[in-house]
Amino acid sequence: MLVSDTVIGRAPVKSGFALTAVGLTLLFTLMEPESSANLDFVERLVFWALQVTTALLGLMVASLLVSSMSYKRLPLYITLLMSGVLGALLVSPIFASIDNWFAGIKDAPDSWLDILEQQGPVYHVMAEFLEITPGLITIWFLINIPLLLNITYRLPTDEDEPAPSTKNLATERATEPREKLRNDFYERLPRVLGRDIVSISSELHYVNVKTVDAKALIIGALNQIAEALDDDGVLIHRSHWVHKKHVVNVHISGNQAWCEMSDGERLPISRSKRKLVKAYFGNEPCAVKTKRTA
C-alpha cells in the first residue's frame, strides 16, 4: 500500500528525513523554546539544526542496530520503544557538547535536571538523556505511524484467502505458489507505477519501488518481495533487487561492483552476491547488453 500524504511517502526515507529535519528546525527556531530563548535568530537556527539533525540520525542508526538484533518477533511498539531509547542514548553526549558550544543558553538552574547537569560532564550527559528521551520516542512513533496503523504491504497467507470453491480447486492446486505471490504483488502496486519495475531498494522499514513510469515508497520486506519476483530479477545486495531486463551493464572489478540500470542509476553489488550475479548474467558480467527503456 502506498504511503501517501506524508513526508516519508512523498520521498525516499533519506530525503524524507531531510525534509523533516528542515521543518522541525524552522519550527523550533521560530517558536523560541525556553532552552534557546537567550540566543539570537541565527544562533537559534544553528542550534536547532544541530539538535534536530543529530536526533534524526541517531534514530536512524538506532533503528538499524535494533533491526539487526534478534528482537524482530517482539511487538512493533516494543521495537520502536527500544530504538527510541537507544537513539536517545547515542545522541545524549552530542547534545551535551552542543549545549557547551552555545554559552548563551546557560541560565540559572530552575529544575532538578539543570542542577544534575552542573555536577560534571557525566551527569550532564545523564541529564540530557533523561530530558530528551520522551521527545525522541514521541517523534519516532510519529514517523512510524504507517507501521503502527498497519498500513503495510505483506504477502498473503492462507488465512487471508477464503476457502476455494470446488470449481476452482483444481486450478488453485495447479498454480505455482511463487506465481501466485508474484501476481498478488503486482496487483497490489499502485496503478500509477505500472508493472514495468526497474529496481526495488530497501530503506529501513520501507522498499522504494522504481518503475519506468514512477516510483513509490511501500512498507514491506525486500527479501520477501524478492522471493516472490525471483523469476524476474535478482537480489544483488541485501538492500537492492534489480529486474534482469533493465540491467544494461554489470561492472565487477576489484573493490568496485555495480549494476547499471536502464534509468541510469548504478546499484552496488555486495561481495557475497558477486558469484550469484556472474552466474545470473553469464561468465562475462561486465559485458551485459540489454536494450535501454526509452
Please report whether residue 116 resides in a domain: yes
The total number of structural domains that make up the chain? 2
Pick the last residue of a domain from 148, 170, 187.
Answer: 148
- Domain check: are 29 and 130 in the same one? yes
- pTM of this structure: 0.52
Whole domain around residue 143: which residue ranges? 7-148
Q: How high is the mean pLDDT in each 10-residue block of the chain (294 residues)?
A: 35 61 85 77 89 88 73 67 90 88 67 76 88 87 69 46 49 58 77 88 81 82 83 89 91 87 91 87 50 40
pLDDT at 242: 94
Helix or strand (DSSP H, E) at 42: helix 41-68
pLDDT at 32: 75
Pick the last residue of a domain from 96, 124, 148.
Answer: 148
- Domain check: are 96 and 215 in the same one? no
- Domain check: are 190 and 81 in the same one? no
CATH of the domain at 247: 2.40.50.1020
- Domain check: are 143 and 170 in the same one? no
pLDDT at 79: 79
Please report whether residue 16 resides in a domain: yes
pLDDT at 107: 60
- Domain check: are 71 and 94 in the same one? yes
- Domain check: are 133 and 184 in the same one? no
Residue 168 CB burial class (10 angstroms; 0-12, 13-18, ≥19): exposed
b/e code 143-162 from CB counts within 10 Å (16+ = b)? bbebbeeebbbebeeeeeee
pLDDT at 14: 57
